Structure 1
Amino acid sequence: MQLGVILAGGQARRMGGDDKSLRQLNGQTLMARVIQRLAPQVQALAINANGDAARFSAFGLPVLPDSLPCFPGPLAGVLAAMDWAASLEEESVVTVAADTPFFPADLVPRLLAAAQNGLALAATGTPSAPQWHPTFGLWPTRIRNTLRDDLHGGQRKVLDWALRQGAQPAFFTEQGDTFFNINTPDDLAAAQHRHDL
């Protein structure tokens, strides 16, 4: 069973501190759009978020808080995802970002195909000059305790950590700017005019 977790644990400082994933994009929340895009690709979904879980109750999904305090970043969300998958005796979990509503509809099968050792990250560009999208990844649960130890040791950068674990790229070069992420009100305004909603 392939599991998916939507990473929504950030503090959204550039959006005024509000939940980015609950902002509206053409009449629908970013979270709803991300769920619609990911749900057909996995068998079960959860949301990684901190604070009051009730604000996500309308989506009917488990909400997984970070296990580390002080908002250490998306790697802590990856760990929460891994721990959830391990609790269900699954070998891997896919993560996506809650602020990136146009990601590929074939993300999960492409990550699975690229994961030679169980770990793959989405990338655009070329093999000689990849542009990584490290919150879009397939993570084997067997390395979760390594991640836990490294987080406690101060590791914060998703890409640095993943590459040290042997992450392979899953290239998405033919689909345009599908990893456009919404960090600011201007980004949200730009997204309103996209035709790949």
Structure 2
Amino acid sequence: MSSTGRAGRPKASSRETLAEAACELFLERGYDATSVADITQRAGVSRSSFFNYFSSKSDVLWSGVDERIGLATRSLELLGRTATGAAVRDILLLVVRDFAPDPLALALRNAAAMGLEDELVRDTGLRLARLSQAVSAAARTAGIEIIRADILGAAHAAAVLSALRVWAEQGAGLGTPEVVLKDALGAIHDLPWSD
């Protein structure tokens, strides 16, 4: 496999090229029928280059959201005892703020064509659990009892991931996920942060 013309490629460009190649192949062949080797061949990079950017095939879809969830988790931890519902919601809005159409949005919109339905359910569940735990921990640190904190965590995490899904399915160019998330967070009004 030759990488002629690829030397000196900027990091972001290689990452984007790999993601683009993966999405093309997922649409053409389906997720299960596409290998990492197929992706690297299409992108014109080595297998080791793939693993410099992504830990797995599914990471191609989730890496942007995972970075944002990681930042949100750290920000939630920093709230400490001063965590309020408003502060938590502001942090969660950052997960979707300025979110541009990306491989995940494409996958959510084309899940059936890409053969990704089961993969997305499983992978969404992992992100849901991670974000839910972070919100719940912030609530417990702020003095909220554990069951209420867990319910708040699950509801807020579901709002974030559901907002991304709905935004992508509606057509990522038709609005912003931030607007969808604000509506979703409004639906949690029956679960106030405090009594």
**TM-score, L = length of structure 1:** 0.29
Determine which structure has greater relative contact order: mean sequence separation of CA pairs < 8 Å that are 6+ residues apart, divided by chain length.
Answer: 1
Higher Cα Rg, which structure: 2
Higher strand share: 1
